[in-house]
Structure 1
Amino acid sequence: MKRVSTLFLKIAVIFIGIPILAMCIFLVPELGNLAAKLLPEFTYIKYFVFVVFYASVIPFYFALYQAFKLLRFIDKNKAFSQISVTSLERIKYCAITISCLHILVLPLFYLFADKDDAPGVVFIGLVVPFASLVIAVFAAVLQKLLKEAIDIKSENDLTV
């Protein structure tokens, strides 16, 4: 049962990466062109959009790789080990990095909202940073719980 559920999660991790890759190929260039069209007074806004979105993809895929590694540790019965704690810590830092990069883009969402007179655009811009922070907090809690479980396990191994 455990291998089936981790297999399902591994497939889910792979399928999470596919739409992001498609967005990088098709949507980010369109967003850059749209930003350049809507805000012609900011000459380098197109490249700013490219840099922020493509730079945030790097920690995203690194976090997916760490999640895949964590699932492999579970398959090998190494879930309660220091390497699992390290993977969770790296996932936490990747989520914080993604959140910080997308917070840099929030003024751009404000300029779009001001230009189109649509205040809901700013809330759409808050979705990715907020979701990344939730993932970072969740990874931090899991990391702390796993570390405490490892400590308890090592104490029990020493007493026996």
Structure 2
Amino acid sequence: MKPETLFLKVVVLLLALPILALCYFMPEIAREATAHYLGMPYLQVPVMLGEYAAAIAYFIALYQTLKLLRYIDKNTAFSELSVRALKNIKNCAIIISILFVPGMPFFVLIARGEDAPGIIVIGLIIISASIVIGVFAAVLQKLLKNAIDIKSEHDLTV
């Protein structure tokens, strides 16, 4: 195993830990946010479902990243499998941003209740980071697909 990809695999696994912790505390966070800050305790289940759906998409993207690193280790980075992994990462990033956009009004209400505008920034960072990752994965997917097409064209002419 190459040390560079090993380091990246460890980083990807470390990126999973905070979201796992957040998932553990999500019922309490959703209960507190919907009842105390929003005054709408009936929204606890939809908030939790949205957050868990975003977490599932996040973990799928991390898994696809690990698969992509495995392909790099096996020297099969220029393959349709890599293109498919990048497509899945792009889709997961889009799903995360789509799930968080309707939640932004809740971030605003909580920020007003706590007088903490940083909460709004957290929501915007999550949405922006997801969009950036999605666009980056889409660009890499397109470049990789073009490189594979050029390579297969070249193999046919030889």
**Normalised by the size of structure 2, how large is the TM-score?**
0.92
State the distance in 2 between where 1:39 and 1:22 align.
23
- Distance, in Å, in 1 between the alignment partners of 2:58 and 2:122 is 19
Distance 1:157 1:104, change over 3 A: same
Q: 2:87 aligns with which of 86, 89, 113?
A: 89
Q: Which residue of 1 aligns with 2:155?
A: 157
The Cα of 1:72 is off from its aligned counterpart by: 0.8
Residue identity over aligned pairs, in percent, reads 54
Question: Does structure 1 residue 6 correspond to structure 2 residue 5?
Answer: yes
* Rounded Cα–Cα distance in structure 1 between residues aligned with 2:130 and 2:141: 16
Q: In structure 1, how many angstroms separate the alpha carbons of the residues matched to 2:65 and 2:55? A: 15
Structure 2 CA distance for aligned equivalents of residues 114 and 18 of structure 1: 29
Query: Any idea what SS the aligned residue of 1:77 has?
Result: coil
Indicate the residue corresponding to 1:77 in structure 2.
75
C-alpha displacement at 1:93, in angstroms? 0.2
**Counterpart position of 2:37:** 38
1:112 partner SS: helix
8 A contact 1:31–1:49 mirrored in 2: no
Q: Secondary structure at the match of 1:104?
A: coil
Asked if the contact 1:112/1:121 (under 8 Å) is kept, the reply is: yes
Q: CA deviation at 1:118?
A: 4.1
Change (3 A) 1:11 1:118: closer
> C-alpha separation between the residues in 1 aligned to 2:82 and 2:115?
47
Q: Distance in 1 between matches of 2:3 and 2:118?
A: 42
Q: Structure 1 stretches of 5 or more lacking a match? A: none
For residues 61 and 113 of structure 1, the distance between their equivalents in structure 2, rounded to whole angstroms, comes to 27
Aligned partner of residue 45 in structure 2, secondary structure: helix
Structure 2 Cα separation of the partners of residues 121 and 61 of structure 1: 23
Measure, in 1, the Cα distance between the counterparts of 2:130 and 2:96: 7
How far apart are the structure 2 equivalents of 1:22 and 1:15?
A: 12
* Residue identity opposite 1:141 in structure 2: V
Shift in Å, 1:120: 4.2
RMSD over equivalenced CA pairs, Å = 1.5
Report the Cα distance in structure 2 between the residues aligned to 1:144 and 1:156, rounded to whole angstroms.
18
Shift of 1:12: 1.2
Match of 1:123 in 2: 121
Distance in 2 separating the partners of 1:135 and 1:93: 10
Mapped to 1, the partners of 2:109 and 2:49 lie a distance apart of 18
Q: Is 2:5–2:73's contact at 8 Å kept on the other side of the alignment? A: yes
How much does 1:14 deviate?
1.0
2:58 corresponds to which letter in structure 1? F
